[in-house]
Amino acid sequence: MSETEFLTRMQHLRAGARLNSRVKLTLEWYESGRFHRVEGYTIDISPKGCLAVAPQGFAVGQKLKLINSVNGQACQALLIWRGHEGRAGWELGLELEKPDCDFWGLDF
């Protein structure tokens, strides 16, 4: 399969429209009975989730509370993809469990 064919195929596998947008966010979770919180930011957003960067790496399947730091909206999310660790942190593909139309404060 050529690179062009691969990229075309991957575009069709996406869950919908994406928008390049850097939104500050907070991730919260409980682990071993303790509350944890880290801050990060998005690379792109969609009605169903986002690609984010955070200083913490998680296991795929981890449930997190995702808070949009711009508008204060919160939603439960599931880590569906973890990419590479870079200087700024881990790339994280997050899927909103019950997407709210107002979560990002945008119309798609």
**pLDDT digit string, tens, across residues 21-66:** 899 999 999 999 999 999 999 999 999 999 999 999 999 999 999 9
pLDDT given at position 12: 45
* Domain 17-96 bears CATH identifier 2.40.10.220: yes
Question: What are the angstrom distances between the C-alpha of 56 and each of 16, 36, 45, 88, 90?
Answer: 26, 10, 19, 10, 6
Which helix (H) or strand (E) element contains residue 64? strand 63-68
Query: Tens digit of pLDDT for each residue in 79-91?
Result: 999 999 999 999 9
Domain ranges across the chain = 17-96
Chain segment 3-19, per-residue pLDDT in tens: 555 445 444 445 567 76
CA distance 61 to 9: 24
| Higher-scoring residue by pLDDT: 105, 68 | 68
List of long-range contacts for 83-89, beta carbons under 8 Å, 24+ apart: 85/57, 86/53, 88/53, 88/55, 89/40, 89/53, 89/54, 89/55, 89/56
User: What value does the mean pLDDT take over residues 69-84?
Assistant: 95
pTM (2 d.p.): 0.81
Q: Give SS3 for 79.
A: strand
